[in-house]
Amino acid sequence: MNPAELALYPFERPATLAELCRTLSARAGRRERTVLLAGGTDWIVERGFAPPENPDDLPLVLDISRLPELRGIQLAKERAAIGAAATFLEIRSHPVLLRRVPVLTAMAREVGAVQIQARGTLGGNLATASPAADGAAALMALDADVVLASVHGERRVPLTQFFTGYRATRRAEDEVIVRVEFVLPRTGAHQAWRKVGTRAAQAISKVALAAVAEFERGRGVRAGFGMASVSPVTASLPTVRALALAPSLASVSDEELDAATRHDIAPIDDIRSTAAYRTHVASALVKAFFRELRAAAGS
């Protein structure tokens, strides 16, 4: 899309969250199409590949990037709340997140170039619902909730239930993602972010794994996983998660991990990779994390 084409779209900037919700409610009731725009790093690129066929039937674009209710990163009582319009650059630079949630800040450092990190938002990453979304994988490993708002108030959806299919979510037409919330991992929790792509940076992943595990007396008491690019939606790896909470990690074999990983994913062949390669890499990443877990649990 070139800048001149942007001028074709009707454009508004709601001043408050309440105003935004009223607009969404009214337009949803009339079945009118609306685009919520924050960073624009996905939507504008998509318009370049698929420009509007009918310039007389364009959705209303609502700029929500400046709404204070969608901004900021709040940490209190061992919980984190990250506004939907928080950028990846803000996340990667946050001092407490750097210390307590390195799985999230490591992910944010690898979301494209710094220009993309400065514009792209966490809420947009979730709303786009790409199975390759890095932010979704990291948040899924943290057992995050998505908080949605409408004229009826707020509702909370576990991220593991938020995606309903390829590029589809539980967000209704009259709702907006306002923030994500999660319990901060304990100090000393084992966290990992591994992204496998064509290049070391600025690449969409072939496979990416986010993982978090906590131990008490050598036994896992919390485990979370998020894997990108291996199924129509971000994969939470529930079978692998159950193995991470087994009474004895030493008893979990590589064969069991391979079987569990294959059970939890459904990769495809596409322009970026093959299903066979993705399966191989996914299993290798899971087994590498479990090797780290065994060492951490033993210590």
* β-pair type (145-150, 190-196): unpaired
pLDDT confidence band for 43 (50 / 70 / 90): confident
> pLDDT tens-digit profile of 265-290?
999 999 889 999 999 999 999 999 99
Q: Which domains does the chain have, with CATH numbers?
A: 191-298 (3.30.390.50)
Q: Is the dihedral of CA 243, 249, 251, 256 positive or negative?
A: positive
Instruction: Count Cβ atoms within 10 A of the Cβ of residue 236 and give its class: 0-12 exposed, 13-18 middle, 19 or more buried.
Output: buried
Q: How many CB atoms lie within 10 A of CB 258?
A: 17
Phi, psi of 179, deg, nearest 5: -170, 170
User: Is pTM beyond 0.85 here?
Assistant: yes
Q: What is the mean pLDDT of the chain?
A: 93
Cα–Cα distance for residue pair 243/294, rounded to 1 Å? 12
pLDDT at position 56: 75
Instruction: Assign 220 to helix, strand or coil.
Output: strand
Instruction: Assign 232 to helix, strand or coil.
Output: coil
Q: What is the pLDDT averaged over residues 126-150?
A: 97
Element counts in the chain: helices (H) and strands (E): 13, 13
pLDDT at residue 199 greater than cutoff 70: no
Q: Which structure tokens are listed for 109?
A: 């450092």
pLDDT at position 202: 63
Phi, psi of 192, deg, nearest 5: -145, 145
Q: What is the pLDDT averaged over residues 18-36?
A: 97
Instruction: Count Cβ atoms within 10 A of the Cβ of residue 283 and give its class: 0-12 exposed, 13-18 middle, 19 or more buried.
Output: buried
Cα–Cα distance for residue pair 126/84, rounded to 1 Å? 9
Phi, psi of 87, deg, nearest 5: -90, 165
Edge to edge, what strands does the sheet with 207-216 contain? 190-196, 207-216, 219-228
Cα–Cα distance for residue pair 121/299, rounded to 1 Å? 38
Q: Return all residues near 41 (Cβ < 8 A) that are at least 6 apart.
A: 112, 116, 119, 120, 124
Q: How many CB atoms lie within 10 A of CB 98?
A: 15
pLDDT confidence band for 42 (50 / 70 / 90): confident
Q: What is the pLDDT averaged over residues 109-121?
A: 92
pLDDT at residue 4 greater than cutoff 70: no
